[in-house]
Amino acid sequence: MRLNIIGAGGWGTALATILSANGLEPTLWVRERETADTINNTHENSAFLPGVTLSKSIRVVNDLAAAAGAPVLVLAVPTQYIRETVKKNVALFEGKIIINVAKGIERGTGLRVSQILREAAGITPENYVVLTGPSHAEEVARNTPTAVVAASENQEAVKIAQEAFSTASFRVYSGDDVIGAEIGGAVKNIIAIAAGIIDGLEIGDNAKAALITRGLAEMSRLGAALGADVRTFAGLSGLGDLIVTCDSRHSRNRRVGEEIGRGKQLPAILSEMRSVAEGVWTTESVLALADSLGVEMPIAAQVGDILFRNKSPRAAIIELMTRETRSEN
């Protein structure tokens, strides 16, 4: 089996360490020649995964064709750059099994990653797998016990992902609800920004627990409206990913919210971040999608007002707390 990875951020690099541990000798693609040379020479991705020594079996290239020669490609490009990457190189992706590990909804179109790939490169559901769940790169690369789910309409493709990535510290469950897995991975980043705001304001654990619980309800409503299995959101790609992203020091989206809660402005926060906080741009896309479906998402709406309309975080929390009373279910 040959699997190569498109995208050498922290997550793509961490997954390369797993493939390498399983003897698969992956090629890892990065845009910049200088970055490729540096990682090859030092065996460390100091920009995105500092302190982790990479196996010499991991080869880094900046020629996409050199990485795309494998029959199975792991797509680790941030969601907002996927269309650009594949549309310019459609022939390289034709007939390949694509294991996507990006999380988010495309700006302007409201499309999930599987839909972007279908539209931009003709990737069919039979050739698409989403690998998702509570899995920070910093921990995975250091062999911390982690469980994720690989979801696809094609269970043979799922088995490929399971065989390639399963180790004593990285457990891969199977699933078939692609919509639910993708929506969970996207919406949890929005809720994580809200969780970070609570941390930044030092409001307390009660508020954060309520936020996570009601955020799960919003995620489930949107997923159900799109045809997902509601049970998916009680699993690794829903509740599991939501918990870790809302509560971890590794979470970029939670950190964005925390800085906002402390009074910092969004442009300044983003300018200081090298990694992408997908939840910022996914907020716009998810709210537009929810509006088109008539799905109520009050937490996401308040996050959007805070991020893009300079709303006071404290005012947003008061509005959420004083909404008309209703049944929990």
Q: CB of 12 within 8 A of CB of 239?
A: no
CA-based Rg of the chain, rounded to a whole angstrom?
A: 19
Q: What is the dihedral of CA 285, 288, 293, 294, to 10 degrees?
A: 130
Q: CB of 151 within 8 A of CB of 175?
A: yes
Burial category of 292 from C-beta neighbours within 10 Å (exposed 0-12, middle 13-18, buried 19 and up): exposed
Catalytic option among 188, 208, 264, 311: 188
Q: 73 by DSSP, 3-state: which?
A: strand
Judge whether 56 counts as a catalytic residue: no
Q: 68 by DSSP, 3-state: which?
A: coil
Q: DSSP per residue over 311-326, as a string?
A: --HHHHHHHHHTSPP-
Q: How far is CA 318 from the centre of its chain?
A: 29
Task: Classify residue 253 by its DSSP letter.
Answer: H
Count, residues in the chain: 329
Element (H, E) at 172: strand 170-175
CA-CA distances (angstroms) from residue 309 to 15, 157, 262, 266? Answer: 37, 43, 17, 11
Q: CB of 97 within 8 A of CB of 164?
A: no
Residues with catalytic function: 188
